[in-house]
Copies of this chain bind each other. A is one copy, B any other.
């Protein structure tokens, strides 16, 4: 069932023990959404926690480091920024999901669904929910919401960023969001290990289809050589699309078990979500992802062939 912001807030107000789930391999938007909502619900007296399948990268510590961990039996479960329950990773199936708050047009409506498709971040939706809950937005909530806005828009860079997104950012700064600090952590800080990985990744970049497709390959060997790890590859994907003339940028990362995952970045001419969907994946029109149960080499060949079709 589709619900609106008012209905969403009304339902949450009636529940007492609320568990919030983020998607696996969590990013700034799912975590910002989760912890902003958790903080807001705690402020109105709810027992609340955020659970996610994977380890949260250290850089997101500030989102939740002051929240004491708590164990309880949830009577209501909300997934945030999770387009389909598969994206919950190993939490998929662990709980019955009652509500989903999201912004992905590919959302498959697996729960009561508050979906605003025309906003660039789930945090933009959560902002409205928090407001509707009547919660005083403090610095911590503002920081969480700002984090989702800025990470899902590439720091207000992508075409998905609207006037409303900038106004929301301004409001969050008025509420105390530390934009300079957050953007520095998210966009201005490379660990030495990431910097090494990035250089190897750039060295691996190859061009196909008259240089309209760029492919970066990140292997387990590269992690070993650089001391980096898969969590750090999140920032690699946008690099593929930055070369002049490239319409589809693909980053293929090899998993420990030899299978792999591809991140796809495009411009208006190609729908990334549709390209990813050809391989059972999904996402947004200009940023999407899919998984392969095969080697990096085979995944690359299959992707390039499909890119050829999409570029026709």
Chain A residues with CB under 8 Å of chain B are 154-164, 166-167, 169-171, 173-174, 179-181, 183-184, 187-192, 195, 199, 202-203, 238, 241-245, 267
In addition to A156-B156, A163-B171, 15 A-B residue pairs with Cβ atoms within 8 Å of each other are: A155-B155, A156-B183, A157-B187, A157-B188, A158-B183, A159-B183, A160-B180, A161-B180, A161-B183, A162-B173, A163-B174, A188-B238, A191-B244, A195-B202, A199-B203
A236 to B263 Cα, complex, angstroms: 26
A85 to B154 Cα, complex, angstroms: 36
Q: Are B173 and A159 in contact (CB under 8 A)?
A: no
Residues of B within 8 Å of A164, CB to CB, are 170
* Interface residue from B163, B171, B267 paired with A173 (Cβ < 8 Å): B163
Q: Are B174 and A158 in contact (CB under 8 A)?
A: no
User: How many copies of this kind of chain does the complex include?
Assistant: 2
On whether A170 and B163 interact (CB within 8 A), knowing A188-B241, A243-B195, the answer reads yes
A241 to B195 Cα, complex, angstroms: 12
Q: Are A173 and B166 in contact (CB under 8 A)?
A: yes
* Interface residue from B156, B171, B244 paired with A192 (Cβ < 8 Å): B244
Nearest chain B CB to A94 CB, angstrom units: 35
A192 to B169 Cα, complex, angstroms: 34
Residue of B nearest to A173 (CB): B163
Q: Are A156 and B158 in contact (CB under 8 A)?
A: no
A183 to B166 Cα, complex, angstroms: 14
A141 to B127 Cα, complex, angstroms: 32
* Interface residue from B161, B170, B188 paired with A179 (Cβ < 8 Å): B161
A174 to B166 Cα, complex, angstroms: 11
A195 to B187 Cα, complex, angstroms: 19
Nearest chain B CB to A221 CB, angstrom units: 20
Nearest chain B CB to A71 CB, angstrom units: 34
Q: Are A244 and B189 in contact (CB under 8 A)?
A: yes
Nearest chain B CB to A215 CB, angstrom units: 14
* Interface residue from B156, B160, B166, B188 paired with A167 (Cβ < 8 Å): B166
On whether A183 and B167 interact (CB within 8 A), knowing A173-B162, A189-B242, A192-B244, the answer reads no
Instruction: Provide a sorted-by-A list of 10 A–B residue pairs whose CB atoms are within 8 angstroms.
Output: A157-B187, A158-B183, A159-B179, A164-B170, A188-B241, A188-B242, A191-B244, A192-B245, A195-B242, A199-B202
